[in-house]
Amino acid sequence: MDDLTLNNGVHIPPIGLGVFQSAPEETAHAVEAALGAGYRHIDTAAGYGNEREVGEGIRRSGLDRDDVFVETKVWVSDYGYDETLHAFGKSAKKLGVSQIDLLILHQPMPQHFDRTMEAYRALEHARQFSATWFSDYLQTGTRVVSGACMPEGASASRSYATTLARASRR
């Protein structure tokens, strides 16, 4: 199956292992097994509590870091400029990587719109990842404008990829 190509040229393997609700004690083995079976995309989040184990599974797999697409998510309590930069650093350290391929703002906080925008601005400035993604923004009345990193041929849906987007209220 061909990778998805975002408008900024980043390639994402279309099938990946998500570790939501994966017990930390089982996660490293699950990631290692998935990579051994041919998966090349691993999806985790700070809020899942298993980023460290995801990193361990990647290292155990024996694959080069460049051969695995790693995505994680910033949790809403870490929105805000400085808070998001700190959260990125914590996630990278737990994963044992210097580069995160896709960094997602986990969910919208319309009641704290300014903190959400500051989180995005922090991601724009950090530039230690290949792409950012707003997750679940179109379902909550928050509109994301521009599709700079939307997969080619895709239309706006539940999740909306972007590197240069600006979010605004409807």
Is 48 among the residues known to form the active site? yes
Contact 29, 35 (CB under 8 A): no
Q: Rounded to an integer, what distance in angstroms lies between the CA atom of residue 95 and that of residue 7? A: 26
Query: Tokens 């995005």 belong to which residue?
Result: 120
Considering the candidates 39, 48, 120, 160, report the single residue annotated as catalytic: 48
User: Given CA atoms 14, 47, 28, 90 in this order, what sign does their dihedral have?
Assistant: positive
**Residues labelled as active-site residues:** 48
